[in-house]
Structure 1
Amino acid sequence: MSKEHWDNSFSDQDFVYGQKENVFIHEMSRIVPDHSKVGCFAEGEGRNAVYLARLGHDVTAYDQSTIGLEKTQKLARERKVDIKTVQIDLTQEKVHTNLYDAAIMVFGHVPKTDQPFLMENMIDAVKPGGYVIFEVYSKDQLHYQTGGPPSFDMLYDPAEILNWIKDYTCIHFYYGEATRDEGKRHVGLGHVIQAVIKK
């Protein structure tokens, strides 16, 4: 998906995925050590980045949408936290390696051919001993019609994800149903893949 696609997607006045953090990130944030340096990948409008900053972490949000990052800064100001924002195409440009104590990604949907690079980019950005936490929609999500991209090519395969994380300690892996009510784009029961790994 192009920068223009995401700029258009986030151009609504309201926050299209809401302002509250993702449920899975909320549950798993407890494993991130206090005052960690955290990278938020494909962060969109910043709801998870702001949540993590409010927990006291040093947060950088990455997204290719300038409008999404502007909304991230707006939300950060409203919640009285500081977040660094970086406009980047995570499927083409590498983030510095061994930079973060933890990295997160929530519904970072890119074409199938770009998924390995995105995943490697996120994992490589984390220091040895750090954590990677992510939730994405699985290919089964198409049957649910409750959010996410309307294309198999933009959804994730659990076997491929297991292959991408096989060299690391897997703390949590889930492939199945979950209810997500996040703004107006994720509404109701869906089908997700979740993972937490320690590098």
Structure 2
Amino acid sequence: MSTSLAWDERFAGGDFQFGEAPNRYLQALRPWFSPGMRALSLGDGEGRNGVWLAEQGLRVTSLDWSGVGMAKAAALAARRGVAMVTIVADAASWDYREGAFDLVAWIYLHLPPADRAAAARGVVRGLAPGGLLALECFTPAQQGRRSGGPKMVELLWSRAIVEDLFGTLEVLELLEGTVSLDEGPRHQGPAEVVRALLRKA
């Protein structure tokens, strides 16, 4: 089964696997955002982060490789009364238009190393000058915890990976450590993550 089909199955139920509320780190970055900013919510799943950004007045593109997830994202946006573009695509191979976004939210998108690097190059290209990248992903210390994340270590992130992939961006914040997750049934409890806020010159 392809990975996108596996996620289609996971999202097929009525419940939201990671809840309908936005990621807490993304929510904490609210002072950095302003209405009218062009935002890309990458690996947006069922749309919780993209819809919240749209509610803040941003012009949002929500992208995920699960068509089932994007259908739920579109329905959530409609239910909340906000406009949001949904795109079913692979983050690693999507055509990122140069300078198209003022904000990219990369929240719990875990890809194999080559795909991760390809998506990172696309994100850097897609960010406009002064554009922000907000990232939160699991680190190898998450292994063995029951609060979510991939089982394969090569999919996990670290501060060093962030620095390697996004070395051309200015570091505004880069932290690694333990947080408490309360994001639907799949992200519950203490978790080991890396968080980053980076800016394109």
> What displacement does 1:121 show?
1.6
> What displacement does 1:194 show?
0.7
CA contact (8 A) 2:158 2:176 kept: no
> What displacement does 1:113 show?
2.6
Q: Matches of 2:8 and 2:122 in 1, distance apart?
A: 22
Cα deviation code 1:137-185 (max 9, x no counterpart): 1111113221011111221132121112222111011111011110000
Counterpart secondary structure, 2:29: helix
Counterpart secondary structure, 2:5: helix
What letter corresponds to residue 99 of structure 1 in structure 2?
A
Q: Matches of 1:3 and 1:106 in 2, distance apart?
A: 17
Moved more, 159-168 or 173-182: 159-168
CA contact (8 A) 2:34 2:57 kept: no
Q: Matches of 2:71 and 2:31 in 1, distance apart?
A: 28
Which residue of 2 is the match for residue 89 of structure 1? 90
Q: Superposed, which structure 2 residues align to 1:122-161 within 5 Å?
A: 122-161=123-162
Moved more, 31-40 or 68-77: 31-40
Q: Matches of 1:181 and 1:72 in 2, distance apart?
A: 19
CA contact (8 A) 2:159 2:174 kept: no
1:78 equivalent to 2:79? Answer yes
Which residue of 2 is the match for residue 173 of structure 1? 174
> What displacement does 1:93 show?
2.6
Which residue of 2 is the match for residue 44 of structure 1? 45
Cα deviation code 1:22-55 (max 9, x no counterpart): 0000001220233211111111100011111011
1:164 equivalent to 2:165? Answer yes
CA contact (8 A) 2:132 2:198 kept: yes
TM-score normalised according to structure 2 size = 0.95
Q: Matches of 1:10 and 1:97 in 2, distance apart?
A: 31
TM-score normalised according to structure 1 size = 0.96
Counterpart secondary structure, 1:8: helix
CA contact (8 A) 2:179 2:192 kept: yes
Moved more, 179-188 or 141-150: 141-150
CA contact (8 A) 1:103 1:123 kept: no
Moved more, 136-145 or 100-109: 136-145
CA contact (8 A) 1:45 1:68 kept: yes
Unaligned runs of 5+ in 2: none
Tell me how large the CA RMSD over aligned residues is: 1.2
Unaligned runs of 5+ in 1: none
CA contact (8 A) 1:37 1:100 kept: yes
CA contact (8 A) 1:39 1:59 kept: yes
Which residue of 2 is the match for residue 185 of structure 1? 186
Moved more, 71-80 or 86-95: 86-95
Counterpart secondary structure, 2:18: coil
CA contact (8 A) 1:46 1:71 kept: yes
Paired residues in the alignment total 199
> What displacement does 1:126 show?
1.1
1:7 equivalent to 2:8? Answer yes
> What displacement does 1:11 show?
1.1
